[in-house]
Structure 1
Amino acid sequence: MLTSTQPPSNILGVSPRLSLTAISSPRIDQRLSHTPAGSTLPLKYRLPSQSWDSHMHVVEPQQFPVSKAAVYQPSVHTLADALAFESTLGLENLVFVQPSIYGTDNSCLLAALAQLGPSRGRGVVVVDPASIQPDTLEEWHELGVRGLRVNLQSVGKVMGESELEETLLRHAEIARPRNWIIEIYLPLKMMPMLESIAPRLGVTLCIDHFGSPDFSSLSKNQEGISFDPYTLPGFQSLISLLRTGNSYIKISAPYRLTNDRTQAQLKAMAREFLSVAPNRVIYATDWPHTRFTNIDITPFTEWCLDLCADEPGLAEKLFRRNTERMLDVNSTSS
C-alpha cells in the first residue's frame, strides 16, 4: 500500500480497483462558445471545454484504510465513480483534495492522481511539515501535486492567531519554493486573522467553500434577496484577501452552508466575489459530498453558470482558467 511518504512507483498499476478504461473517455464535443440565458441544453454541452472540478475526493477505505482519528466513516467512491459523475456535468479535469479522514496518509489521492495523469489532474495533499521529506515532495510534484491543505473546519479545530500563523508559516516554507498553494478550510469569522497573516507567507492561498460562512444567526429580514454579505463577520477581510491578488476562493459545497431559506445569501456572496476578483474565483462540486446523502449538484452548477451569463469569458474563468492558473496547469511537467 502507498504511504504518505512514498509516491506510487508504477503509475499504471498503483491500485487494482481503479479502472484504466475509466480514464480514456473522449473529450466532450459540441460545446457552446456562449451559453444563452435560459438554455435548456444539458450542462455537459454548456460548460466551457476542459472545465475543472477544483475540489473533489476519491475514497477507498478497503484499499486505503482511513485514519483511526477519522470523525466519520466514508463509503467507497472510486476514480471510476468520480469520472462517471463528472461526465454528467461535462467536467473533464479533476483536483483531488485530501479529505480529513485520511490525515497525512495521501496514498488514495496519489494513486488516483497517478492513474489520471497530470494533464487532467492536480492534487492538494496534507502533510506534517516536521516529517515530510523533500525527495517525496519532488516526486509528488511530478505526479501533479500543487498544494498543501490546512483543514480546521472539518475536524472542529480552533486556533488563535499565533498558532494559526505558526502553522501556516511552516506550510509556506514547503509550498513557496515549489510554487504550491496553501488551501485552507476555516470559518469565515477567522478571516481577519488570515488577512493579518497572509502577507508574511509569500504563497498563494485558496479558501475553501465560500469561506465557510455561518448563517445561523441571520434574522428573517436578512434572509431576503437584498442580503448584504458585508454584514457577515469576516467577509470584508475575505474580500480584502481577494483584492490583493494572491488569494483564491472556491464557490463549492453549498449544502454544507445553507438551506432553502438562505440560498440567496450564497448567491450574493458569489456575485460579490466575481465582481471584485473575477480572476480569483473557482468552481467545485465537493463530490462525493461526504457526510451528506442524495445531493444533486446540478442546480448549484446551473446558478454558477447563470452568474456568468452576462459577461463574455467569465464562465471560462470560473470553470477553467482560474484553476489552471492557480495550480500551474500549463507547467512543463503537465
Structure 2
Amino acid sequence: MLTSAQMKPALLTGHPCISLAAPSLNQHEQRRPTHTSVAPLLKQRIPPHSWDSHIHVVEPQRFPVSPAALYQPSTHTLVDALAFESTLGIQNMVLVQPSVYGSDNSCLMDALTKIGPERGRGIVVVDPTTVPTETLNEWHALGVRGLRVNLQSIGRVMDQMELERTLIQHADIARPRNWIVEVYLPLNMVPLFEPIVPRLGIRICIDHFGSPELSSVLRYHDRTPFDPYALPGFRSLISLLRGGHTYIKVSAPYRLSKDQHLRDLLIMAREFLHVAPGRVIYATDWPHTRFTGVDIGPFTESCLQLCADKPGLAERLFRRNTEEMLGMLTV
C-alpha cells in the first residue's frame, strides 16, 4: 500500500486562469458553428489528428428521447458537431451516448455511420443482460469501442455490491472486444469503485475530472491553497491512475465549478498529468447539454498551457492517450 507521502507528490503551482463566459445562443443560432474566443491560435497549436474524446449528437425530432429523460435537449446534429470541431482544429471525435436516450443508441449509431471509423469512435449504453451479441459485433465494425455506465446524470446511487455486479456485467461484454468501460460517477463513490477495477481485466475511463464536489473543501479565506487530496475520493482516483488501467477525462469544467473554483480544476488536471501523463484525456463535452453560451476555447488554451513545459505531452493529452485507450495503438 502506498504511503501518504507517496500518494501526495508536491502539487505544481502557477495555474492559468480560465473563463467560460460567452453570450447565450438562441434556438435560431444553435446550428451555427460555435466559435471560440481563441480559435485562430488553437487551430495552429493543437496537435494534428487530435481527438475530442467526449461529444454528444442529439436529434430529438428524428430520434425521440427516452420518456424517462430528465430534460428536453435542443437539436445538435453531426453537421453542427463537425462545424464546432473545425473551430478548434480537431479532426476526430468520440461520440458518447447521452443520458436522454437511455439504452437506445440509434442517434449515436446514425452519426457514427456517417462520420465513419476513420474519424469517429462510439461509446454506447446497453442493458448488459439483454443486448444481442450480433448487435455488439455490428457496432464494433462501425467503430464502437466502449460501454458507458452513467450514474451521475440520473443521480443514481449504488452500494458496492450493486456497483461491482454492474461493472462485471459490462466488463464481460467489453473484454473480448478490447473495449473500455466508461464510468460517470461522483468522486465520493470512487473509493467503492477502486477495489473493483483490478478484477475487471479491462481499461476504465472516468468522466469529467471524476465529478468532484469542490465546495466540500473548507477554506478559511480565498487565498487558502486548494489541496485536491482533501476531496473525498481523490486519493482513490489517484491510486487508480497509478495502477495503469484507468484513464481520466479532463472535460466539462462548467459542470463542476463556478468561477472561483476553475483554478482548482486546473490544479487537479496538473496532478493527473504529473501522476499519469499517459492516461489523461482531453474533451469538450460539446454541445454542453443543460448549459448555454459555453466558450470552451479558454479551457482548451489552459490545457495546452499545462503541457507547455513537457515535449510531447500535448500530443498525449489531445491524441495519443485517446488512441491508446480505445485500442487504436499498442498500450
Superposition TM-score, scaled by structure 1 size: 0.86
Matched residue, 2:298: 299
- Equivalent residues, number: 293
- CA deviation after TM superposition for structure 1 residue 269, in Å: 0.4
Q: Which has the higher contact order (CA 8 A, sep 6+)?
A: 2
Structure 1 gaps of 5+ residues are 1-38
Match for residue 33 of structure 2? none
Structure 2 counterpart SS, 1:271: helix
Q: In structure 2, how many angstroms separate the alpha carbons of the residues matched to 1:42 and 1:95?
A: 23
Secondary structure at the counterpart of residue 138 of structure 2: helix
2:239 pairs with 1:231? no
Distance change >3 Å, CA 103–CA 222, structure 1 → 2: farther
Following the alignment from structure 2 to structure 1, what is the Cα–Cα distance between the partners of residues 142 and 39?
Answer: 38
Q: How much does 1:219 deviate? A: 3.0
**Where does residue 30 of structure 1 map in the other structure?**
none
Alignment of 1:31-42 (within 5 A): 42=41
Note if contact 1:227-1:265 (Cα within 8 Å) is conserved in structure 2.
Answer: yes
Q: Secondary structure at the match of 2:229?
A: helix
Match of 1:148? Answer: 147
CA distance in 2, matches of 1:110, 1:41: 32
What corresponds to 2:256 in structure 1? 257
Q: Is the 8 A contact 1:223 1:264 kept in 2?
A: no
Q: Contact conserved, 1:57 with 1:99, CA < 8 A, in 2?
A: yes
> For the Cα contact (< 8 Å) 2:39–2:297, is it kept in 1?
no
CA contact under 8 A between 1:224 and 1:264: conserved in structure 2? no
1:250–1:281 contact (8 Å) kept in structure 2: yes
Give CA deviations for 1:155-208 in whole Å, capped at 9, x if unaligned: 000100000000000001100110100000000001111111111111110000
Change in 2 beyond 3 A, CA 1:223/1:186: farther
> Which residue does the alignment assign to 1:129?
128
Match of 1:248, SS?
strand
* SS of structure 1 residue aligned to 2:209: helix
Shift of 1:260: 1.0
What's the CA shift for 1:223? 5.4
Residue number in structure 2 paired with 1:308: 307
Matched residue, 1:317? 316
Residues of 2 paired with 1:221 and 1:126: CA distance?
A: 43
Give, in angstroms, the shift of residue 330 of structure 1. Answer: 4.9
Query: Are residues 40 and 64 of structure 1, via their aligned partners in 2, closer, same or farther at CA, if it must alter by over 3 Å?
Result: closer
Q: How far off its partner does 1:218 sit?
A: 3.0
Identity of aligned residues (%): 68
Residue matched to 2:32: none
**Alpha-carbon distance change, 223 to 246 in structure 1, aligned in 2, over 3 angstroms:** farther
Separation in 2, partners of 1:316, 1:225: 33
1:258-303 Cα distance to aligned partner (Å, 9 max, x none): 1111111101100000000000000000000000010000010010
- Name 2:29's counterpart in structure 1: none
Match of residue 48 from structure 2: 49
Work out the CA distance in 2 between the residues paired with 1:251 and 1:225: 24
Q: Which piece of structure 1 moves more, 39-48 or 212-221?
A: 39-48
Aligned AA (1:257): L
Distance 1:310 1:229, change over 3 A: same
Q: The residue matched to 1:236 in structure 2 has which SS?
A: helix
CA distance in 1, matches of 2:149, 2:65: 18
Tell me, what secondary structure is at the counterpart of 2:318?
helix
Instruction: Indicate if the aligned counterparts of 1:119 and 1:329 stay in contact, CA closer than 8 A.
Output: no
Contact 2:186 2:210 in 1 (8 A): yes
CA deviation string 1:231-259 (max 9, x = no partner): 10100000000001100000000000011
1:138 is aligned to 137
The alignment's TM-score, normalised by the length of structure 2, stands at: 0.86
Distance 1:72 1:214, change over 3 A: same
Q: 3-state SS of the aligned residue for 1:183?
A: strand
Q: Where in structure 2 are the equivalents of 1:161-240 lying within 5 Å? A: 161-221=160-220, 224=223, 226-240=225-239
* RMSD (Å), alpha carbons: 1.5
Q: Counterparts of 1:92-131 in structure 2 under 5 Å?
A: 92-131=91-130
Deviation per CA, 1:84-121: give whole Å up to 9, x if none.
Answer: 00110111100000000000000000010011010100
Matches of 1:219 and 1:243, distance apart in 2 = 27
Paired residue type of 1:323: T
Q: Secondary structure at the match of 1:70?
A: coil
